[in-house]
Amino acid sequence: MTDSDSIDLFTRTVGDGERRVVFLHGLFGRGKNFTRIAKGLEPECTSLLVDLPNHGRSDWTEEFDYRAMADHVAATLRADFAAAGPVDVIGHSMGGKVAMVLALRHPELVDRLVVEDISPVGTEAAKSGDAVSDDAVSDDAVSDDAGDAGSGGSEFDHLLSSLRALDLGSVADRAAADEALSESIPNRTVRGFLLQNLRSGDDGLFWEPNLELLHESLAVIGGFPELGDARFDHPVLWVGGAKSDYIRPEYGEAMRALFPRTTRMMIKDAGHWLHSEKPEEFIAVLRGFLLDDRD
């Protein structure tokens, strides 16, 4: 645990192009999950893949708060990657909410914003039927959320409870942990995604994400913070999967109120994890939005 004013975020850089792009992952993801997409933006872009607080190799915090998370990302960008000027930001699901709050609280750091399959509303109304695609298990291509809290809090409560109940002292490696979780989490792909967060250290296996905090914060994760009269007036691409339910027509008013220059696009035959399910289509959409002439 670290003091909220001195948090370190782990980042990786892909490419060396002139345009600078930041990727923010979803719940239980990590920056590395966007490697394939970042490579698809080469040679024009340099991409920064961020592990958000309480995930991956980044520090833990005492509370889950979207405003604080956005401020931590802002401090990281301001210190280096965005020191020379604003950058483009892409955020998926939970990371999409962080990206929106970042743009609203720190607009000087963001040029163009891409919000992937999430809306600036509480997601308690969203369906729980999204499933992780069966071919998305590798570290680089794995789906970013095993169901964000908004996609059915009871489902995610079950997943977190199952992980917390696993006795790490009784399993020797990830394969043994996978077997131990097979009854409570029967979907092999979901287990594979979750188990990317299980690491081995000097004292044995440990979970990198802050399971206890995330479990306690499901309602906050599924919500969206009140930000007063904040507005972001730069171009925003609001892109979703046509088979997902996180972007609905009735959410458009809330989105446009915060981001008046929003363009909405849906990718055919994609669900919530469209960057994993339809990577080539997603890359083409990003290139069309990020690499055209700037205003």
Active site residues: 93, 212, 272
Residues 275, 285: Cα–Cα separation, whole Å:
10
What percent of the residues of the chain are helix, what percent strand, and what percent coil, each to the nearest 5? 40, 15, 45
Cα–Cα separations (whole angstroms), residue 73 to 17, 27, 91, 251, 254: 21, 16, 12, 26, 24
Residue type at 125? A
Instruction: Give the max Cα distance, the chain.
Output: 58
Distance CA 93, CA 79 (A): 25
Q: For residues 165 and 167, what is the distance between their CA atoms, to the nearest angstrom?
A: 6
Cα 208 from chain centroid (whole Å): 16
Q: Report whether the peptide linkage leading into residue 107 is cis, meaning its omega lies within 30 degrees of zero.
A: no
Query: Residue 206: enclosing H or E segment and its boundaries?
Result: strand 204-207
Extract the tokens encoding 277: 């399910």
Residue 192 phi/psi, 5° resolution? Answer: -60, -40
